[in-house]
Structure 1
Amino acid sequence: GVSNFDLPLLKALEARASVQTHAVQNQKDLVNKDSEVVEYCRQNGIFYQAYASLRNHETSQEEEWVEARKQASAVAAETGHSVHQIVLRSLLDEGIGVIPRSRNPEHIQENLNVIYWELSENSLKALGVDHDEL
């Protein structure tokens, strides 16, 4: 597998490698969607794994992040789950693997609980996930 590869670099690797890439690990979240690499991975049977998916959700004041936080908070309020859980579940529902950072046992349990439910199509659309492409 590889990490932090954009699409041109991934294609260059694929063209030269004697072994197919099996996994790509890149930063992906509700704002930084990495759509080209995600789609390339889907089309070529490569597992895509997101890291740092929660990094800027609480602190960034950039307009895109403020809007993403607003949407995630609305979905969290509707579903009774935390914003962190909404972000992680939206990635899982998109077929993306996640690597959430956890600092305590309670947070680890909260992260694990996302495997027991799914988001509705309307919730995914509100978060900017195009469910039709899945």
Structure 2
Amino acid sequence: MPMLGLGTWENEDPEQCAESVATALETGYRHIDTAQIYGNEDAVGDGIARADVPREDVFLATKVWIDKLGYDDVLASTRESLDRLGVDYVDLLYVHWPAQAYDPERTLAAFQELRDEGVVERIGVSNFEPEHLDRATEALGAQPFANQVELHPLLQQDDLRRYCEADGIELVAYSPLARGEVFNAPELNDIAAEHGVSEAQVSLAWLREKGVTTIPKATGEDHITDNWASLDLELRDEEIATIDGIDRTDRRVHPGFGPDAWDE
């Protein structure tokens, strides 16, 4: 799984979304992330088809929404996602949230069936806390491949990062720029100025140093290119320590059906 991908949340205009995906792939990205609830799987598929990049070189992920997590609904809705995306398989299929129709045994049994059929390469989860990961691991008989969560310098998720690292679960960060709030963090302002780069690049480079895959949303070519340039940024140990020392818990995504642990 490439450590830098393109997120497509709220990229709802079909032409803009397709162009963003195509631009990202032609820039060098090889990881594209979408979801059923984003309403843009058709456009994401159009963008992949538009780019001069073989399908097998693209790591494509989508997510099953919370009202489609019953056994039969997982099977049907995933096939509908494949049709919209215009592909025969996805590299990673996530449970979007441990909520509503989610039942570890029934939901994940459907995911396993799709993997056995070859239409899903890897099983992932999203917005899972350790207790949810434990139950998912028990149901699957193995750890999920990845857990996608909100993660950035203003929400560092130390305990969850340690848990996933110990269990060999890949962490994927959504909203890795804290929905733009990283541009207002003094610590990141100073480091960005020192390197002559954007705060976005600093945030993405810090996450990479932590072994976390990132999927920043970007629509325009300038932002797509700027995020890509973060791969060339090497932070000094003292700069990493400065970011590690940011004492904030700024969660930008907190729906009412989110895990109870988030209210603690």
- TM above 0.5, one fold? yes
After TM superposition, the structure 1 = structure 2 runs for residues 1-134 of structure 1, keeping only pairs within 5 Å, are: 1-58=124-181, 69-128=185-244
Per-residue CA distance 1:68-106 (angstroms, 9 max, x = gap): x01010111111111111111110111100001102011
**How far apart are 1:17 and its partner, in Å?**
2.1
Secondary structure at the residue paired with 1:53?
Answer: coil
TM-score, scaled relative to structure 1? 0.83
Amino acid at match of 2:232: Y
Gaps of 5+ in 2: 1-123, 246-264
* Amino acid of the structure 2 residue aligned with 1:74: D
Matches of 1:25 and 1:58, distance apart in 2: 20
Identical-residue share of aligned pairs (%): 27
**Residue aligning to 1:62:** none
Q: Is the 8 A contact 2:128 2:149 kept in 1?
A: yes
Compared CA separation, residues 36 and 91, structure 1 to 2 (3 A)? same
The one-letter code matched in structure 1 to 2:234 is E
TM-score, normalised via structure 2 length: 0.44
Unpaired stretches in structure 1, ≥5 consecutive residues: 60-64, 130-134
Measured against aligned partners, the alpha-carbon deviations of 1:34-69 in whole angstroms (never above 9, x if no partner) come to 22221111111111110011134439xxxxx96xx0
Counterpart of 1:15, as a letter, is E
Q: What is the Cα deviation at residue 16 of structure 1?
A: 2.8
**Aligned counterparts of 2:233 and 2:127: Cα–Cα separation in 1:** 29
Q: What is the alpha-carbon distance in structure 2 between the residues aligned to residue 109 and residue 2 of structure 1?
A: 28
CA distance in 2 between counterparts of 1:57 and 1:30 reads 12
The equivalent of 2:86 in structure 1 is: none
C-alpha distance in 1 between matches for 2:212 and 2:127? 15
Larger radius of gyration: 2
| Displaced runs of 4 or more, over 6 A | none
The alignment of Structure 1 onto Structure 2 pairs a total of residues equal to 122
Q: Please, what is the CA RMSD of the aligned residues?
A: 1.9
Question: 1:58 & 1:20 partners in 2: Cα distance?
Answer: 32
Q: What code does the residue aligned with 2:228 have?
A: L
Would you say the 8 A contact 2:207–2:214 is kept in 1? Answer: yes
Q: State the AA in 1 paired with 2:199.
A: V
Higher RCO (CA < 8 A, seq sep 6+)? 1
